[in-house]
Amino acid sequence: MSTSETVKIGLFYGSTTCFTEIAAEKIQAQFAPGQVELFNIKDTPLQACEDYAVIIFGLSTWDFGEIQEDWESHWSDIQQLQLNNKIVALFGMGDQVGYTDWFQDALGMLHDELASHPTTRECIRIGFWPNQGYEFNASKALTPDQAYFVGLALDEDSQYQFSEERIETWVTQLKAELAEILD
């Protein structure tokens, strides 16, 4: 087995309505058994992510571009994390129809928060996701060239039928990116 297939991954999420938790479980199921450990940040200090070389963060955008409540209560903890040289991937939940001007904003806000602190900005970011197949007006989660989201974008409100395939494709992408970095 290669290093990328055996490295332990910490997946940290916040979930109010269980959709982010369900997505986290589906992501976990795409990896080898026991490779991904799930942590709800409501119950686990965010600092626990420092124990992993590879970290996945999951969160949802609420209402008009707001951060999910568990993440909001731990937001100031991000600047204390020691994530330089760690591999980080992000996924987000949002509603592109109901909140078309704020689609995946929390995902972009988390990405920007990680990029703004000396102890987190040197993390290795993987898992950028193409923005094709979505219909929205604006998003803080887009890369500067607007071609990608800064992580996997899921929409259980308007495009739930695509979530399974998107998760499978994204995890395959993550595995390839990890193999390139770790092997």
Give the pLDDT confidence of 27-59 residue by residue, as tens digits. Answer: 999 999 999 999 999 999 999 999 999 999 999
CATH number for the domain that contains residue 51: 3.40.50.360
Give the count of alpha carbons within 13 A of 142, CB side only.
Answer: 14
Q: Is 85 exposed, middle or buried (0-12, 13-18, 19+ CB in 10 A)?
A: exposed
Q: Is the pTM of this model over 0.95?
A: yes
Spatial distance between the Cα atoms of 16 and 42, rounded to a whole number of angstroms: 10
Alpha-carbon dihedral sign for residues 91, 95, 70, 24: negative
β-sheet bridge partners, residue 6: none
pLDDT in tens, the chain (183 residues): 687 888 999 999 999 999 999 999 999 999 999 999 999 999 999 999 999 999 999 999 999 999 999 999 999 999 999 999 999 999 999 999 999 999 999 999 999 999 999 999 999 999 999 999 999 999 999 999 999 999 999 999 999 999 999 999 999 999 999 999 998
Domain count, the chain: 1
Structural domain that includes position 173: 3-182
